[in-house]
Structure 1
Amino acid sequence: MSQNEMNTTDADEDDALVSPQPGAVVDDDSTDTAGPETTLVEARDLDVFYGEEQALDSVDIEIPENRVTAMIGPSGCGKSTFLRCINRMNDLIDVARVEGDLLFEGKNVYDDDVDPVALRRRIGMVFQQPNPFPKSIYENVAYGLRVQGRTENLDEKVEQALKNAALWDEVEGRLDESGLDLSGGQQQRLCIARAIAVDPDVILMDEPASALDPVATSQIEDLIDDLREEYTVVIVTHNMQQAARISDKTAVFLTGGRLVEFDDTEKIFENPESDRVEDYITGKFG
Protein backbone atom coordinates (compact mmCIF):
# COMPACT_ATOMS: atom_id res chain seq x y z
CA MET A 1 0.00 0.00 0.00
CA SER A 2 1.42 3.43 -0.92
CA GLN A 3 2.08 6.14 1.63
CA ASN A 4 -0.68 8.31 0.18
CA GLU A 5 -3.13 5.46 0.55
CA MET A 6 -2.10 5.17 4.18
CA ASN A 7 -3.34 8.74 4.61
CA THR A 8 -6.85 7.69 3.65
CA THR A 9 -7.09 4.12 4.94
CA ASP A 10 -10.54 3.19 6.17
CA ALA A 11 -11.12 3.74 9.87
CA ASP A 12 -13.75 5.12 12.18
CA GLU A 13 -15.74 7.82 10.40
CA ASP A 14 -15.26 10.30 13.20
CA ASP A 15 -12.68 12.84 12.02
CA ALA A 16 -11.55 13.64 15.55
CA LEU A 17 -8.33 12.08 16.73
CA VAL A 18 -9.64 11.57 20.24
CA SER A 19 -11.87 13.53 22.58
CA PRO A 20 -10.85 17.20 22.70
CA GLN A 21 -7.86 17.81 24.92
CA PRO A 22 -8.87 19.73 28.05
CA GLY A 23 -7.51 23.22 27.90
CA ALA A 24 -6.63 23.07 24.21
CA VAL A 25 -7.38 26.35 22.46
CA VAL A 26 -8.25 26.62 18.79
CA ASP A 27 -8.90 30.10 17.42
CA ASP A 28 -11.74 29.83 14.90
CA ASP A 29 -11.17 33.42 13.81
CA SER A 30 -7.58 32.87 12.73
CA THR A 31 -8.28 32.40 9.03
CA ASP A 32 -7.40 36.05 8.47
CA THR A 33 -3.69 35.89 7.78
CA ALA A 34 -3.33 39.48 9.00
CA GLY A 35 -4.61 38.55 12.45
CA PRO A 36 -2.75 37.20 15.47
CA GLU A 37 -0.98 33.89 15.07
CA THR A 38 -2.37 30.74 16.67
CA THR A 39 -0.03 27.81 17.19
CA LEU A 40 -1.40 24.68 15.52
CA VAL A 41 1.60 22.33 15.59
CA GLU A 42 4.26 22.42 18.30
CA ALA A 43 7.37 20.35 19.00
CA ARG A 44 8.87 20.25 22.47
CA ASP A 45 12.32 18.73 22.99
CA LEU A 46 11.70 16.40 20.04
CA ASP A 47 14.30 13.72 19.33
CA VAL A 48 14.10 11.16 16.52
CA PHE A 49 16.34 8.14 16.10
CA TYR A 50 16.72 5.66 13.26
CA GLY A 51 18.22 2.77 15.16
CA GLU A 52 21.30 4.20 16.87
CA GLU A 53 21.52 7.22 14.56
CA GLN A 54 19.94 10.43 15.85
CA ALA A 55 18.12 12.35 13.11
CA LEU A 56 16.58 15.17 15.20
CA ASP A 57 18.08 16.65 18.35
CA SER A 58 15.94 18.55 20.88
CA VAL A 59 13.73 20.40 18.36
CA ASP A 60 11.45 23.10 19.76
CA ILE A 61 9.14 24.92 17.36
CA GLU A 62 5.66 26.46 17.22
CA ILE A 63 4.06 26.36 13.76
CA PRO A 64 1.26 28.92 13.29
CA GLU A 65 -2.14 28.24 11.80
CA ASN A 66 -2.97 29.48 8.28
CA ARG A 67 0.61 30.32 7.46
CA VAL A 68 3.19 28.76 5.17
CA THR A 69 6.17 27.49 7.15
CA ALA A 70 9.27 26.47 5.19
CA MET A 71 11.92 24.02 6.40
CA ILE A 72 15.34 24.62 4.84
CA GLY A 73 18.82 23.24 5.39
CA PRO A 74 21.41 20.96 3.79
CA SER A 75 20.68 17.35 2.90
CA GLY A 76 20.49 15.00 5.85
CA CYS A 77 19.78 17.70 8.44
CA GLY A 78 16.38 16.32 9.51
CA LYS A 79 13.91 18.48 7.58
CA SER A 80 11.91 15.63 6.07
CA THR A 81 12.19 13.60 9.27
CA PHE A 82 10.51 16.42 11.16
CA LEU A 83 7.83 16.77 8.51
CA ARG A 84 7.00 13.07 8.77
CA CYS A 85 6.76 13.29 12.55
CA ILE A 86 3.81 15.65 12.29
CA ASN A 87 1.45 13.02 10.87
CA ARG A 88 3.36 9.99 12.18
CA MET A 89 4.59 8.78 8.80
CA ASN A 90 7.74 7.69 10.63
CA ASP A 91 5.60 4.97 12.21
CA LEU A 92 6.03 3.15 8.90
CA ILE A 93 9.79 2.84 9.50
CA ASP A 94 10.51 -0.04 11.88
CA VAL A 95 13.72 1.38 13.32
CA ALA A 96 12.35 4.89 13.91
CA ARG A 97 11.94 6.03 17.51
CA VAL A 98 10.44 9.35 18.60
CA GLU A 99 11.02 10.97 21.98
CA GLY A 100 9.63 14.25 23.30
CA ASP A 101 6.32 15.88 22.40
CA LEU A 102 4.74 16.68 19.05
CA LEU A 103 1.49 18.53 19.65
CA PHE A 104 -1.40 19.15 17.25
CA GLU A 105 -4.06 21.46 18.68
CA GLY A 106 -2.47 20.92 22.07
CA LYS A 107 -2.65 17.13 21.92
CA ASN A 108 0.46 14.94 21.71
CA VAL A 109 0.03 12.98 18.48
CA TYR A 110 2.19 10.16 19.91
CA ASP A 111 -0.15 9.51 22.83
CA ASP A 112 -1.48 5.94 22.93
CA ASP A 113 -5.07 7.09 22.35
CA VAL A 114 -4.31 8.83 19.04
CA ASP A 115 -5.32 6.95 15.89
CA PRO A 116 -2.62 7.57 13.23
CA VAL A 117 -5.13 7.02 10.42
CA ALA A 118 -7.49 9.65 11.82
CA LEU A 119 -4.50 11.95 12.32
CA ARG A 120 -3.51 11.62 8.65
CA ARG A 121 -7.01 12.60 7.61
CA ARG A 122 -6.46 15.95 9.29
CA ILE A 123 -2.81 16.28 8.30
CA GLY A 124 -2.40 15.37 4.64
CA MET A 125 0.87 14.95 2.77
CA VAL A 126 2.16 15.65 -0.73
CA PHE A 127 5.38 13.90 -1.70
CA GLN A 128 8.35 14.93 -3.82
CA GLN A 129 7.45 12.79 -6.82
CA PRO A 130 3.89 13.17 -8.12
CA ASN A 131 2.20 9.81 -7.59
CA PRO A 132 -1.37 9.78 -8.87
CA PHE A 133 -3.19 6.50 -8.54
CA PRO A 134 -3.74 4.48 -11.77
CA LYS A 135 -7.31 5.74 -11.85
CA SER A 136 -9.22 8.48 -13.61
CA ILE A 137 -8.67 12.12 -12.64
CA TYR A 138 -12.09 12.07 -10.99
CA GLU A 139 -11.43 8.90 -9.00
CA ASN A 140 -8.04 10.14 -7.86
CA VAL A 141 -9.71 13.08 -6.15
CA ALA A 142 -12.71 11.07 -4.97
CA TYR A 143 -10.61 8.27 -3.49
CA GLY A 144 -10.31 9.52 0.08
CA LEU A 145 -13.91 10.67 0.17
CA ARG A 146 -15.11 7.22 -0.91
CA VAL A 147 -12.90 5.50 1.68
CA GLN A 148 -14.41 7.70 4.36
CA GLY A 149 -17.96 7.13 3.10
CA ARG A 150 -18.41 10.82 2.35
CA THR A 151 -20.02 10.36 -1.05
CA GLU A 152 -22.87 12.85 -0.72
CA ASN A 153 -22.49 15.60 -3.34
CA LEU A 154 -19.36 13.84 -4.55
CA ASP A 155 -19.28 15.64 -7.90
CA GLU A 156 -19.33 19.01 -6.16
CA LYS A 157 -16.57 18.00 -3.75
CA VAL A 158 -14.35 16.73 -6.54
CA GLU A 159 -14.90 19.89 -8.56
CA GLN A 160 -14.16 22.13 -5.59
CA ALA A 161 -10.96 20.26 -4.74
CA LEU A 162 -9.76 20.58 -8.33
CA LYS A 163 -10.60 24.28 -8.30
CA ASN A 164 -8.75 24.75 -5.03
CA ALA A 165 -5.76 23.00 -6.58
CA ALA A 166 -5.91 25.32 -9.61
CA LEU A 167 -6.49 22.37 -11.94
CA TRP A 168 -10.20 22.44 -12.77
CA ASP A 169 -9.96 24.66 -15.85
CA GLU A 170 -7.38 22.31 -17.38
CA VAL A 171 -9.20 19.02 -16.76
CA GLU A 172 -12.89 19.92 -16.65
CA GLY A 173 -13.64 17.97 -19.82
CA ARG A 174 -11.18 15.14 -19.10
CA LEU A 175 -12.27 13.79 -15.73
CA ASP A 176 -12.58 10.23 -17.08
CA GLU A 177 -9.00 10.22 -18.39
CA SER A 178 -6.22 8.62 -16.37
CA GLY A 179 -4.40 10.83 -13.91
CA LEU A 180 -1.21 9.27 -15.25
CA ASP A 181 -1.77 11.00 -18.58
CA LEU A 182 -1.33 14.46 -17.06
CA SER A 183 1.92 16.42 -17.18
CA GLY A 184 4.22 16.34 -14.16
CA GLY A 185 3.00 19.68 -12.83
CA GLN A 186 -0.61 18.69 -13.36
CA GLN A 187 -0.03 15.37 -11.61
CA GLN A 188 1.38 17.18 -8.59
CA ARG A 189 -1.62 19.50 -8.49
CA LEU A 190 -3.85 16.43 -8.80
CA CYS A 191 -2.12 14.96 -5.75
CA ILE A 192 -2.72 18.25 -3.92
CA ALA A 193 -6.39 18.10 -4.94
CA ARG A 194 -6.58 14.54 -3.60
CA ALA A 195 -5.03 15.69 -0.32
CA ILE A 196 -7.38 18.64 0.19
CA ALA A 197 -10.55 16.86 -0.97
CA VAL A 198 -10.94 15.30 2.50
CA ASP A 199 -10.69 18.78 4.07
CA PRO A 200 -7.55 18.48 6.23
CA ASP A 201 -6.30 21.15 8.61
CA VAL A 202 -2.64 20.85 7.63
CA ILE A 203 -0.94 20.07 4.32
CA LEU A 204 2.63 18.78 4.51
CA MET A 205 4.71 19.12 1.34
CA ASP A 206 8.07 17.39 0.95
CA GLU A 207 9.95 19.09 -1.91
CA PRO A 208 6.73 19.32 -3.99
CA ALA A 209 8.32 21.17 -6.91
CA SER A 210 11.81 19.67 -7.03
CA ALA A 211 10.94 17.34 -9.92
CA LEU A 212 9.12 20.01 -11.95
CA ASP A 213 10.14 22.48 -14.63
CA PRO A 214 10.19 26.24 -13.87
CA VAL A 215 6.69 26.87 -15.25
CA ALA A 216 5.14 24.05 -13.22
CA THR A 217 7.14 25.14 -10.18
CA SER A 218 5.71 28.65 -10.47
CA GLN A 219 2.19 27.20 -10.65
CA ILE A 220 2.79 25.16 -7.50
CA GLU A 221 4.15 28.23 -5.69
CA ASP A 222 1.11 30.29 -6.70
CA LEU A 223 -1.11 27.47 -5.46
CA ILE A 224 0.65 27.33 -2.10
CA ASP A 225 0.11 31.07 -1.75
CA ASP A 226 -3.63 30.52 -2.24
CA LEU A 227 -3.81 27.49 0.06
CA ARG A 228 -2.72 29.44 3.13
CA GLU A 229 -6.16 31.09 3.15
CA GLU A 230 -7.75 27.81 4.21
CA TYR A 231 -4.92 25.53 5.33
CA THR A 232 -1.75 25.47 7.35
CA VAL A 233 1.08 24.52 4.98
CA VAL A 234 4.45 23.12 6.04
CA ILE A 235 6.91 22.69 3.19
CA VAL A 236 10.39 21.20 2.99
CA THR A 237 12.51 22.75 0.27
CA HIS A 238 16.17 22.81 -0.75
CA ASN A 239 15.46 25.98 -2.73
CA MET A 240 16.14 28.95 -0.46
CA GLN A 241 14.76 31.39 -3.03
CA GLN A 242 11.54 29.40 -3.06
CA ALA A 243 11.31 29.55 0.73
CA ALA A 244 11.86 33.31 0.60
CA ARG A 245 9.14 33.73 -2.03
CA ILE A 246 6.34 31.65 -0.56
CA SER A 247 6.71 31.27 3.20
CA ASP A 248 5.70 33.36 6.18
CA LYS A 249 7.98 31.52 8.61
CA THR A 250 11.25 29.72 7.98
CA ALA A 251 12.96 27.07 10.08
CA VAL A 252 16.65 26.43 9.44
CA PHE A 253 17.92 22.94 10.23
CA LEU A 254 21.67 22.37 10.11
CA THR A 255 23.97 19.42 10.71
CA GLY A 256 23.24 17.16 13.63
CA GLY A 257 19.46 17.37 13.27
CA ARG A 258 19.30 20.66 15.17
CA LEU A 259 16.84 23.46 14.51
CA VAL A 260 19.21 26.42 14.64
CA GLU A 261 16.78 29.26 14.01
CA PHE A 262 13.06 29.79 13.42
CA ASP A 263 11.55 33.19 12.70
CA ASP A 264 9.68 35.30 10.19
CA THR A 265 11.02 34.53 6.74
CA GLU A 266 12.04 38.11 6.06
CA LYS A 267 14.14 38.20 9.23
CA ILE A 268 15.77 34.84 8.53
CA PHE A 269 16.91 35.96 5.10
CA GLU A 270 17.78 39.57 5.91
CA ASN A 271 18.95 39.59 9.51
CA PRO A 272 19.37 36.13 11.05
CA GLU A 273 20.43 35.84 14.68
CA SER A 274 22.82 32.92 14.13
CA ASP A 275 26.13 33.30 12.32
CA ARG A 276 25.73 29.69 11.16
CA VAL A 277 22.40 30.55 9.55
CA GLU A 278 23.89 33.62 7.88
CA ASP A 279 26.74 31.49 6.52
CA TYR A 280 24.24 28.97 5.14
CA ILE A 281 21.97 31.62 3.62
CA THR A 282 24.91 33.37 1.96
CA GLY A 283 26.33 30.13 0.61
CA LYS A 284 29.47 29.95 2.73
CA PHE A 285 28.61 26.33 3.51
CA GLY A 286 25.89 23.76 2.75
Structure 2
Amino acid sequence: MSDTDATPTISTTVEESTSEREAQSSTGTARAVIESRNLDVRYGDVEALQSIDLRIPDQHVTAIIGPSGCGKSTFLRCINRMNDLVEAATIDGELLFNGTDVYGEEIDPVALRRRIGMVFQHPNPFPKSIYDNVAYGLRIQDITDDMDERVEQALRRAALWDEVKDQLDKSALDLSGGQQQRLCIARAIAVDPDVLLMDEPASALDPIATSKIEDLIEELAEEYTVVIVTHNMQQAARISDKTAVFLTGGELVEFDDTQKIFEDPESDRVEDYITGKFG
Protein backbone atom coordinates (compact mmCIF):
# COMPACT_ATOMS: atom_id res chain seq x y z
CA MET A 1 0.00 0.00 0.00
CA SER A 2 1.08 3.53 -0.66
CA ASP A 3 2.54 5.56 2.20
CA THR A 4 2.48 8.80 0.26
CA ASP A 5 2.10 11.80 2.56
CA ALA A 6 2.06 9.54 5.64
CA THR A 7 3.06 11.28 8.81
CA PRO A 8 5.77 9.64 10.95
CA THR A 9 3.58 8.46 13.80
CA ILE A 10 -0.07 7.86 14.53
CA SER A 11 0.15 9.92 17.73
CA THR A 12 1.41 12.95 15.80
CA THR A 13 -1.48 12.64 13.39
CA VAL A 14 -3.98 12.54 16.23
CA GLU A 15 -2.56 15.70 17.77
CA GLU A 16 -2.52 17.54 14.45
CA SER A 17 -6.14 16.60 13.78
CA THR A 18 -7.47 18.18 16.98
CA SER A 19 -7.89 21.67 15.54
CA GLU A 20 -9.50 20.21 12.43
CA ARG A 21 -11.97 18.24 14.57
CA GLU A 22 -12.89 21.34 16.57
CA ALA A 23 -13.28 23.50 13.47
CA GLN A 24 -15.51 21.02 11.67
CA SER A 25 -17.60 20.21 14.73
CA SER A 26 -18.35 23.92 15.10
CA THR A 27 -19.83 23.92 11.59
CA GLY A 28 -21.85 20.77 12.23
CA THR A 29 -19.90 18.78 9.62
CA ALA A 30 -18.42 15.51 10.82
CA ARG A 31 -14.96 14.89 9.43
CA ALA A 32 -13.95 11.43 8.20
CA VAL A 33 -11.79 9.79 10.85
CA ILE A 34 -11.52 6.56 8.81
CA GLU A 35 -11.40 6.52 5.02
CA SER A 36 -10.78 3.66 2.61
CA ARG A 37 -9.78 4.32 -0.98
CA ASN A 38 -10.00 1.57 -3.57
CA LEU A 39 -9.38 -1.01 -0.84
CA ASP A 40 -8.98 -4.60 -2.04
CA VAL A 41 -8.38 -7.62 0.20
CA ARG A 42 -7.69 -11.18 -0.87
CA TYR A 43 -7.16 -14.34 1.16
CA GLY A 44 -5.04 -16.34 -1.22
CA ASP A 45 -7.13 -16.60 -4.39
CA VAL A 46 -10.35 -15.53 -2.68
CA GLU A 47 -11.41 -11.92 -3.09
CA ALA A 48 -12.83 -10.70 0.24
CA LEU A 49 -13.20 -6.98 -0.53
CA GLN A 50 -13.23 -5.21 -3.86
CA SER A 51 -12.54 -1.52 -4.42
CA ILE A 52 -14.06 -0.24 -1.18
CA ASP A 53 -14.41 3.55 -0.94
CA LEU A 54 -15.89 4.52 2.41
CA ARG A 55 -15.64 7.57 4.69
CA ILE A 56 -16.56 6.96 8.35
CA PRO A 57 -17.49 10.13 10.25
CA ASP A 58 -16.08 11.17 13.61
CA GLN A 59 -18.14 10.62 16.78
CA HIS A 60 -20.93 8.75 15.02
CA VAL A 61 -22.05 5.13 15.13
CA THR A 62 -21.50 3.50 11.75
CA ALA A 63 -23.05 0.07 11.21
CA ILE A 64 -21.77 -2.38 8.64
CA ILE A 65 -24.39 -4.92 7.58
CA GLY A 66 -24.68 -7.63 4.97
CA PRO A 67 -24.95 -11.41 4.55
CA SER A 68 -22.36 -13.82 5.91
CA GLY A 69 -19.13 -13.87 3.94
CA CYS A 70 -19.57 -10.43 2.38
CA GLY A 71 -16.41 -8.94 3.93
CA LYS A 72 -17.84 -7.00 6.88
CA SER A 73 -15.40 -8.32 9.47
CA THR A 74 -12.54 -8.25 6.98
CA PHE A 75 -13.08 -4.52 6.50
CA LEU A 76 -13.23 -3.97 10.26
CA ARG A 77 -9.97 -5.83 10.80
CA CYS A 78 -8.26 -3.77 8.10
CA ILE A 79 -8.85 -0.58 10.09
CA ASN A 80 -6.48 -1.56 12.90
CA ARG A 81 -4.38 -3.99 10.87
CA MET A 82 -5.62 -7.15 12.54
CA ASN A 83 -5.39 -8.77 9.10
CA ASP A 84 -1.61 -8.53 9.48
CA LEU A 85 -1.98 -11.67 11.57
CA VAL A 86 -3.41 -13.62 8.59
CA GLU A 87 -0.56 -14.86 6.41
CA ALA A 88 -2.74 -15.37 3.33
CA ALA A 89 -4.14 -11.82 3.41
CA THR A 90 -3.10 -9.41 0.64
CA ILE A 91 -4.19 -5.79 0.95
CA ASP A 92 -4.10 -3.13 -1.75
CA GLY A 93 -5.36 0.45 -1.86
CA GLU A 94 -5.39 2.91 1.02
CA LEU A 95 -6.94 2.96 4.45
CA LEU A 96 -6.55 6.29 6.21
CA PHE A 97 -6.83 7.12 9.91
CA ASN A 98 -6.92 10.87 10.50
CA GLY A 99 -5.52 11.31 7.01
CA THR A 100 -2.60 8.90 7.42
CA ASP A 101 -2.34 5.59 5.56
CA VAL A 102 -2.29 2.99 8.34
CA TYR A 103 -0.30 0.67 6.07
CA GLY A 104 2.48 3.21 5.59
CA GLU A 105 5.99 2.00 6.39
CA GLU A 106 6.32 4.40 9.32
CA ILE A 107 3.23 3.13 11.12
CA ASP A 108 3.64 0.92 14.18
CA PRO A 109 0.64 -1.47 14.26
CA VAL A 110 0.81 -1.76 18.05
CA ALA A 111 0.65 2.02 18.45
CA LEU A 112 -2.18 2.10 15.92
CA ARG A 113 -4.22 -0.39 17.95
CA ARG A 114 -3.90 1.85 21.00
CA ARG A 115 -5.75 4.54 19.05
CA ILE A 116 -8.23 2.10 17.50
CA GLY A 117 -9.62 -0.32 20.08
CA MET A 118 -11.54 -3.47 19.25
CA VAL A 119 -14.26 -5.53 20.93
CA PHE A 120 -14.88 -9.01 19.56
CA GLN A 121 -17.98 -11.14 19.06
CA HIS A 122 -17.38 -13.31 22.11
CA PRO A 123 -16.26 -11.70 25.38
CA ASN A 124 -12.56 -12.38 25.91
CA PRO A 125 -11.58 -11.15 29.38
CA PHE A 126 -8.12 -12.09 30.59
CA PRO A 127 -7.92 -14.68 33.40
CA LYS A 128 -7.18 -11.87 35.81
CA SER A 129 -9.13 -9.75 38.25
CA ILE A 130 -11.68 -7.21 37.04
CA TYR A 131 -9.29 -4.43 38.08
CA ASP A 132 -6.29 -5.96 36.30
CA ASN A 133 -8.27 -6.44 33.10
CA VAL A 134 -9.02 -2.74 32.87
CA ALA A 135 -5.54 -1.72 34.00
CA TYR A 136 -3.78 -4.05 31.56
CA GLY A 137 -3.52 -1.67 28.60
CA LEU A 138 -2.55 1.25 30.81
CA ARG A 139 0.33 -0.72 32.32
CA ILE A 140 1.50 -1.85 28.88
CA GLN A 141 1.76 1.84 27.97
CA ASP A 142 3.54 2.63 31.25
CA ILE A 143 0.62 4.77 32.40
CA THR A 144 0.65 4.27 36.15
CA ASP A 145 -0.47 7.61 37.59
CA ASP A 146 -4.01 7.81 38.98
CA MET A 147 -4.53 4.15 38.11
CA ASP A 148 -7.48 3.66 40.49
CA GLU A 149 -9.25 6.69 39.04
CA ARG A 150 -8.58 5.59 35.46
CA VAL A 151 -9.95 2.10 36.13
CA GLU A 152 -13.03 3.51 37.82
CA GLN A 153 -13.72 5.96 34.98
CA ALA A 154 -13.40 3.23 32.35
CA LEU A 155 -15.80 1.00 34.27
CA ARG A 156 -18.23 3.90 34.68
CA ARG A 157 -18.11 4.68 30.96
CA ALA A 158 -18.81 1.01 30.28
CA ALA A 159 -21.83 1.13 32.63
CA LEU A 160 -20.31 -1.56 34.84
CA TRP A 161 -18.93 0.28 37.88
CA ASP A 162 -22.03 0.02 40.08
CA GLU A 163 -22.16 -3.73 39.51
CA VAL A 164 -18.51 -4.51 40.29
CA LYS A 165 -17.16 -1.71 42.47
CA ASP A 166 -17.15 -3.92 45.56
CA GLN A 167 -15.52 -6.90 43.86
CA LEU A 168 -12.68 -5.51 41.76
CA ASP A 169 -10.38 -8.30 42.97
CA LYS A 170 -12.82 -10.94 41.72
CA SER A 171 -11.89 -12.93 38.63
CA ALA A 172 -13.31 -11.44 35.45
CA LEU A 173 -14.21 -14.97 34.37
CA ASP A 174 -16.83 -15.12 37.12
CA LEU A 175 -18.88 -12.32 35.54
CA SER A 176 -21.92 -12.98 33.37
CA GLY A 177 -21.53 -12.88 29.60
CA GLY A 178 -22.99 -9.40 29.33
CA GLN A 179 -20.81 -8.12 32.14
CA GLN A 180 -17.75 -9.68 30.55
CA GLN A 181 -18.48 -7.89 27.27
CA ARG A 182 -18.88 -4.56 29.05
CA LEU A 183 -15.61 -5.28 30.87
CA CYS A 184 -13.93 -5.81 27.49
CA ILE A 185 -15.33 -2.45 26.40
CA ALA A 186 -13.97 -0.85 29.58
CA ARG A 187 -10.58 -2.41 28.87
CA ALA A 188 -10.65 -1.02 25.33
CA ILE A 189 -11.58 2.53 26.31
CA ALA A 190 -9.31 2.75 29.38
CA VAL A 191 -6.43 3.85 27.12
CA ASP A 192 -8.68 6.54 25.59
CA PRO A 193 -8.71 5.50 21.91
CA ASP A 194 -10.20 7.60 19.12
CA VAL A 195 -12.08 4.76 17.47
CA LEU A 196 -13.86 1.72 18.89
CA LEU A 197 -14.42 -1.23 16.54
CA MET A 198 -17.07 -3.78 17.48
CA ASP A 199 -17.50 -7.10 15.69
CA GLU A 200 -20.94 -8.51 16.52
CA PRO A 201 -20.55 -7.42 20.18
CA ALA A 202 -24.00 -8.59 21.27
CA SER A 203 -24.57 -11.69 19.13
CA ALA A 204 -23.66 -14.06 21.97
CA LEU A 205 -25.75 -12.24 24.59
CA ASP A 206 -29.33 -12.50 25.80
CA PRO A 207 -31.85 -9.72 24.97
CA ILE A 208 -31.40 -7.88 28.29
CA ALA A 209 -27.61 -7.86 28.00
CA THR A 210 -27.93 -6.86 24.33
CA SER A 211 -30.08 -3.89 25.29
CA LYS A 212 -27.46 -2.72 27.78
CA ILE A 213 -24.72 -2.99 25.13
CA GLU A 214 -26.83 -1.01 22.66
CA ASP A 215 -27.50 1.74 25.21
CA LEU A 216 -23.80 1.82 25.97
CA ILE A 217 -22.84 2.15 22.30
CA GLU A 218 -25.06 5.19 21.91
CA GLU A 219 -23.43 6.79 24.96
CA LEU A 220 -19.91 5.98 23.79
CA ALA A 221 -20.54 7.71 20.45
CA GLU A 222 -20.61 11.01 22.36
CA GLU A 223 -16.87 10.56 22.93
CA TYR A 224 -15.67 8.02 20.38
CA THR A 225 -16.13 7.02 16.76
CA VAL A 226 -17.86 3.64 16.85
CA VAL A 227 -17.90 1.16 13.96
CA ILE A 228 -20.04 -1.92 14.51
CA VAL A 229 -20.44 -5.02 12.37
CA THR A 230 -23.81 -6.67 12.92
CA HIS A 231 -26.04 -9.30 11.32
CA ASN A 232 -28.97 -7.80 13.20
CA MET A 233 -30.55 -5.22 10.92
CA GLN A 234 -32.95 -4.09 13.64
CA GLN A 235 -29.96 -3.39 15.85
CA ALA A 236 -28.30 -1.34 13.11
CA ALA A 237 -31.51 0.63 12.62
CA ARG A 238 -31.81 1.31 16.36
CA ILE A 239 -28.33 2.49 17.23
CA SER A 240 -26.44 3.70 14.16
CA ASP A 241 -26.23 7.07 12.45
CA LYS A 242 -24.75 5.73 9.22
CA THR A 243 -25.06 2.31 7.61
CA ALA A 244 -22.85 0.62 5.03
CA VAL A 245 -24.31 -2.34 3.15
CA PHE A 246 -21.84 -4.95 1.92
CA LEU A 247 -23.16 -7.71 -0.33
CA THR A 248 -21.78 -11.00 -1.61
CA GLY A 249 -18.39 -10.71 -3.25
CA GLY A 250 -17.04 -8.08 -0.90
CA GLU A 251 -18.80 -5.20 -2.60
CA LEU A 252 -19.91 -2.04 -0.81
CA VAL A 253 -23.25 -1.39 -2.50
CA GLU A 254 -24.56 1.59 -0.53
CA PHE A 255 -23.57 3.90 2.33
CA ASP A 256 -25.86 6.58 3.70
CA ASP A 257 -27.77 7.83 6.73
CA THR A 258 -29.28 4.83 8.48
CA GLN A 259 -32.83 6.08 8.09
CA LYS A 260 -32.31 6.50 4.35
CA ILE A 261 -30.85 3.01 3.99
CA PHE A 262 -33.76 1.35 5.77
CA GLU A 263 -36.60 3.49 4.44
CA ASP A 264 -35.55 4.58 0.96
CA PRO A 265 -32.38 2.89 -0.33
CA GLU A 266 -31.03 3.88 -3.72
CA SER A 267 -30.09 0.33 -4.71
CA ASP A 268 -32.68 -2.31 -5.55
CA ARG A 269 -30.21 -4.91 -4.27
CA VAL A 270 -30.07 -3.18 -0.88
CA GLU A 271 -33.86 -2.97 -0.75
CA ASP A 272 -34.09 -6.68 -1.52
CA TYR A 273 -31.63 -7.44 1.28
CA ILE A 274 -33.36 -5.17 3.79
CA THR A 275 -36.78 -6.64 3.01
CA GLY A 276 -35.48 -10.20 3.17
CA LYS A 277 -35.85 -11.09 -0.49
CA PHE A 278 -32.32 -12.46 -0.43
CA GLY A 279 -29.39 -12.86 1.99
After the TM superposition, which of the residue ranges 146-155 and 24-33 deviates more from structure 2? 24-33
**Structure 1: gaps spanning 5 or more residues:** 1-14
Q: Which runs of 4+ in 1 moved over 4 A?
A: 23-26, 30-34
Query: Could you tell me which amino acid in structure 2 is paired with residue 144 of structure 1?
Result: G
| Structure 1 pair 26–43 and aligned structure 2 pair: CA distance change class (3 A) | farther
* Pair 1:271-2:264 in alignment: yes
| Structure 1 pair 26–115 and aligned structure 2 pair: CA distance change class (3 A) | farther
Shift of 1:17: 2.0
Query: Could you tell me which amino acid in structure 2 is paired with residue 124 of structure 1?
Result: G
Tell me the TM-score normalized by structure 1. Answer: 0.91
Shift of 1:16: 4.6
Q: Matches of 2:254 and 2:125 in 1, distance apart?
A: 35
2:171 to 166, 174, 178: 178
Q: Which residue of the partner structure matches residue 158 of structure 1?
A: 151
Q: Which residue of the partner structure matches residue 78 of structure 1?
A: 71
1:136 to 92, 106, 129: 129
Q: Matches of 1:273 and 1:239 in 2, distance apart?
A: 21
Q: Matches of 1:111 and 1:41 in 2, distance apart?
A: 15
1:66-125 deviations in Å (ceiling 9; x for gaps): 000000000000000000000000000001010000000010000111000000000000
| Structure 1 pair 258–225 and aligned structure 2 pair: CA distance change class (3 A) | same
Query: Partner of 2:87: helix, strand, or coil?
Result: coil
Q: Percent identity?
A: 71
Q: Which residue of the partner structure matches residue 247 of structure 1?
A: 240
Q: Matches of 2:226 and 2:58 in 1, distance apart?
A: 8
1:131-152 deviations in Å (ceiling 9; x for gaps): 1000000000000001110010
| Structure 1 pair 103–129 and aligned structure 2 pair: CA distance change class (3 A) | same
* Pair 1:223-2:216 in alignment: yes
Q: Which residue of the partner structure matches residue 50 of structure 2?
A: 57
| Structure 1 pair 20–170 and aligned structure 2 pair: CA distance change class (3 A) | closer
Q: Matches of 1:30 and 1:246 in 2, distance apart?
A: 26
After the TM superposition, which of the residue ranges 29-38 and 61-70 deviates more from structure 2? 29-38
If each structure's helix is expressed as a fraction of its own residues, which one has the higher value? 2
**Structure 2: gaps spanning 5 or more residues:** 1-7
Q: Matches of 2:73 and 2:109 in 1, distance apart?
A: 18
Q: Which residue of the partner structure matches residue 6 of structure 1?
A: none
| Structure 1 pair 146–25 and aligned structure 2 pair: CA distance change class (3 A) | closer
Q: RMSD between aligned alpha carbons?
A: 1.9
The question of whether the paired residues in 2 share the 8 Å contact of 1:26 and 1:38 is answered with: no
The question of whether the paired residues in 1 share the 8 Å contact of 2:242 and 2:256 is answered with: yes
1:161-206 deviations in Å (ceiling 9; x for gaps): 0000000000010100000000000000000000000000000000
Shift of 1:20: 3.7
Query: Could you tell me which amino acid in structure 2 is paired with residue 40 of structure 1?
Result: V
Tell me the TM-score normalized by structure 2. Answer: 0.94
